[in-house]
Structure 1
Amino acid sequence: MKYKNIQVAIIDYDLGNTYSVLNAIEFLGYKVFVTSEYEKLKKANAIILPGVGAFEAAIKSIVRKELDKILTELVLQEQKPLLGICLGMQLLANTSEENGLHQGLGFIEGNVKKITPKSKAAVPHVGWNDLNIIQNSKIYSRLKDSKNFYFDHSYHFECESQYISATCNYGGLSLVASVQKNNIFGVQFHPEKSQNNGLRLFRAFIENS
């Protein structure tokens, strides 16, 4: 598909850093829009699910807007590429224990749990960390020698190793930094705050969609 014809949709569910992501995608030169409307999401070549905030409020908003049903159709049935960012990645899980037990979208089997460091490392985990790439993923295809990204989270995704594409080391733990299942991708870090590496990741995800 020609570069200028690629359309990227950022999901609007009333939470998150949607416009930081929008600015990054616009900087790369793609046509991008923020929406929760079915018809607009259906026209997109790739979908991004951003996220900053609490899991419970996020999933309630997603269900209220019927985005769970829309995403099930477009992502699971039609195989449209989806990238979840930070909370957006956690929403892909079966459940989260943040402030009680809550059901997620269940797109990638796993559960979200509180970070409990083995050392005296602070929680939330905030700052730059290097990734340990576990398996090849198209979202990392444009990275050069540096694999450093910006994190900001108190909860982490626990899932089977087959879905883990990268980890990071923090507080004596190996935390899941990214996941992948077919056309579904998730990153615990923030590409939109990760300078050139973040832009390279966005371009790799979009160009391979």
Structure 2
Amino acid sequence: MYYVFNDLFFPPVSEADEEGILAIGGDLKSERLKLAYQSGIFPWFNEGEPILWWSPDPRMVLFLDELAVSKSMRNILNRNQFKVTFNQNFRDVISNCQKIKREGQNGTWISNEMIDAYCKLNEQGIAKSVEVWQDEVLVGGLYGIDLGHVFCGESMFSKVSNASKIAFIALVNYLKKENYKLLDCQVYNPHLESLGCREINREEFISILEDKR
């Protein structure tokens, strides 16, 4: 495993171990985070532990034309119960992602340090959010890193049923309209699979990431 110090460098993603861990250490400065995402790498670690840098194989992604929207979800969308905005309340979205309780997880990997780091990326136009509102109250959303042709999803939250799905669908529709190639969802979970996401090998993911045409 590679140890990151002050140098702005990551080893080739092919050197990641079987779990997908590529490197350990370093910091969450904007330049390092930008290099990581551009290279198919993301940080994921528990508060109080060294930073772990991941590039898993396989990689969970959504090809935008493969979005799966159930009939019941279409009915919810047609009722217009929710309002969706883009990149209006980034800090509130990431803070809610930090606080939301998730089944099978104790606590969260989204530390205060990570919130501050991603808010700096948001100020630079790199990290972006989707907000879902009901009666002027923020009830769901998601955030991630916008590479211009690939959007790297980081986390999402719901305070009412289906709010995060609304955010996800709105993001995919936006990405399709703007001719993005892919939505990166990092690692498998059944909820993502139900929305049409699937695993591809890391080599294919990196190839798409590097092709900015």
Same fold (TM over 0.5): no
TM-score in terms of structure 2 length? 0.33
Q: TM-score, normalised by structure 1?
A: 0.33
Q: Which of 1 and 2 has greater Rg? A: 2
